[in-house]
């Protein structure tokens, strides 16, 4: 996920690059974007994303399964609506609205089989969890109560591995700058894709819609992302997520 915050803090944009997106990985040729992390950790992943987008990546956060659970539980769980009965070998989810603890939420975001669009639906579930976390933080006075904010930031920094320049102090300042945002100011979307295909060696891959993606990256550079969202057929996260 590539997160963009305009300089005036008028919104927050979370752009998901599907893990199987076929890209150039520096020093390794064409590969899935998630392979960059396997080949060279966060540094190579950042280099790959910067080369793909032409955008500078200022900070990096990496969360593993344990951190995901801890971050969810630090909020007292997150509210997730499941529109239809679904599930896989890990868990079943009857239709309904739940306050999911960390373990339950992890099962939810990891489901892929049984979803109509496979990994694309799983990307939307990841986004749905992010939205639920942000809504939880905004609705529980986390950003306005100093004690609540410090507790949440400490939980976040213990659950998420951040680059060395992104410390608690900078996180606190950023949180204070975002206090004026509402849920309507947060946009979650998947970068433009042109479907799926096969690589020369038989891997199942996701193909970027390169012209549309180029317009997206340009909109981020130009500060015209709100206009891009309304003018393009953006794959925005809907209110209902399978």
Please count the other Cβ atoms lying within 10 Å of the Cβ belonging to residue 223.
Answer: 12
Judged by average pLDDT, the poorest of 57-66, 115-124, 148-157, 214-223 is 148-157
Say which residues have a Cβ less than 8 Å from residue 191's Cβ, sequence separation at least 6: 15, 16, 17, 18, 21, 208, 213, 216, 235
Please write the tens of the pLDDT for every residue from 48-82.
Answer: 999 999 999 999 999 999 999 998 998 889 999 99
* pLDDT tens digits, one per residue of 217-236: 999 999 999 999 999 989 99
- pTM as predicted: 0.93
Domains of the chain: 2-236 (3.40.630.190)
22 within 8 A of 32, measured Cβ to Cβ: yes
């Amino acid at each position: 996920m590539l997160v963009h915050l305009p300089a005036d803090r008028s919104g927050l944009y979370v752009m998901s690059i599907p893990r199987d997106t076929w890209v150039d990985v520096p020093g390794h040729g064409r590969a899935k974007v998630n392979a960059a992390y396997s080949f060279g950790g966060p540094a190579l992943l950042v280099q790959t994303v910067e080369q793909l987008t032409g955008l500078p990546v200022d900070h990096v956060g990496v969360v593993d399964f344990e951190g995901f659970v801890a971050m969810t539980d630090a909020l007292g769980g997150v509210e997730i609506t499941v529109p239809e009965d679904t599930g896989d070998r890990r868990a079943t989810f009857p239709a309904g609205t739940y306050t999911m603890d960390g373990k339950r939420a992890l099962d939810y975001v990891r489901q892929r089989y049984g979803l109509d669009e496979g990994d694309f639906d799983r990307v939307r579930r990841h986004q749905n969890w992010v939205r639920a976390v942000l809504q939880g933080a905004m609705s529980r006075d986390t950003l306005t109560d100093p004690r609540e904010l410090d507790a949440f930031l400490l939980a976040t920094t213990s659950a998420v591995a951040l680059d060395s320049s992104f410390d608690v102090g900078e996180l606190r300042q950023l949180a204070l700058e975002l206090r004026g945002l509402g849920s309507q100011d947060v946009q979650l979307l998947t970068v433009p894709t042109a479907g799926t295909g096969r690589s020369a060696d038989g891997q199942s891959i996701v193909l970027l819609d390169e012209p549309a993606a180029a317009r997206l990256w340009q909109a981020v550079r130009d500060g015209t992302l709100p206009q891009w969202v309304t003018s393009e057929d953006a794959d925005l996260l809907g209110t209902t997520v399978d």
